[in-house]
Amino acid sequence: METLEQIKARLEKILPLTRLDLLPNECPAGERSLLVDAASGFAVAQFLRDDPQLLLDYCSNVTGIDWPQATIKTKVKKKVLVGGVEKEIEEIIETLRSGHLEVVYHLYSMALKQGPVVLRLRSENRTDNTRLPSLTPLWRGAELQEREIYDLYGVIFEGHSDLRRILMWDGFVGFPMRRDYVAPDDFEYEPTPHDEGLQEAKKHYPAEVKP
């Protein structure tokens, strides 16, 4: 199969892209991924699916990831001249990562038995703009998985035909897979007629056996 660099070069020729990055992966056995901006995500996915050399007709896995705002500390080794002697020191660089939600698609080709190509889309932020294009019109296999990501992360997939909660119940508030989600103490608490009945009954207890 083509390398990601070749795919990237071809994509840049064909499509007017605002952002197409190759993300590294520090794990040697893992795959690097293509990061595309939300606006051109659908077009890139369509190219990957229909291109005769790639034919990524099988969308295996769709994952949501939450990246809250954080300061990332990276160690960089630097050579500094101290009193005429060159010394190596470690410097810690702090960078601010803005919060966003990410959706990862693992694409394989069943026709050509190759893959995977990992495609990533990122939302603008985690609060008021979590919209991303749905790839369900391209791969039906993403249908339930995108619903799950909507349910658990709150990513709104534009173009999904049936975006509803899937694992949590209707009427549930919040997105439980987010890093900052705090579970309530008791999910199932609701004032029942039974509680009122008990209060009512207390009035009729004799004073000495009042519980």
**Which positions lie near another protein, rule CB under 8 A?**
25-31, 50, 55, 57-61, 63, 65, 104, 106, 110, 113, 116, 118, 137-145, 152, 161-162, 165-169, 176-177
Q: What does residue 3 show for φ and ψ, rounded to 5 degrees?
A: -80, 165
Distance CA 158, CA 176 (A): 21
Work out how close the CB of 183 gets to another protein at its nearest, in angstroms, rounded to a whole number.
Answer: 9
Which lies closer to another protein via its Cβ, residue 30 or residue 197? 30
Work out how close the CB of 120 gets to another protein at its nearest, in angstroms, rounded to a whole number.
Answer: 10
Which lies closer to another protein via its Cβ, residue 187 or residue 189? 187
Work out how close the CB of 169 gets to another protein at its nearest, in angstroms, rounded to a whole number.
Answer: 7
34 neighbors 118 (Cβ within 8 angstroms): yes
Which lies closer to another protein via its Cβ, residue 169 or residue 206? 169
In our burial notation (b when 16+ CB lie closer than 10 A, e otherwise), range 110-136 reads: eeeeebbbbbbbbbbebeeebebbbbb
Which lies closer to another protein via its Cβ, residue 44 or residue 152? 152
Which lies closer to another protein via its Cβ, residue 74 or residue 199? 74
101 neighbors 90 (Cβ within 8 angstroms): no
Those residues whose C-beta lies under 8 Å from the C-beta of residue 127, and which sit 6 or more positions away, are: 99
Work out how close the CB of 136 gets to another protein at its nearest, in angstroms, rounded to a whole number.
Answer: 10
Work out how close the CB of 198 gets to another protein at its nearest, in angstroms, rounded to a whole number.
Answer: 30
Instruction: Name the DSSP letter for residue 141.
Output: G
Q: What does residue 144 show for φ and ψ, rounded to 5 degrees?
A: -70, -35
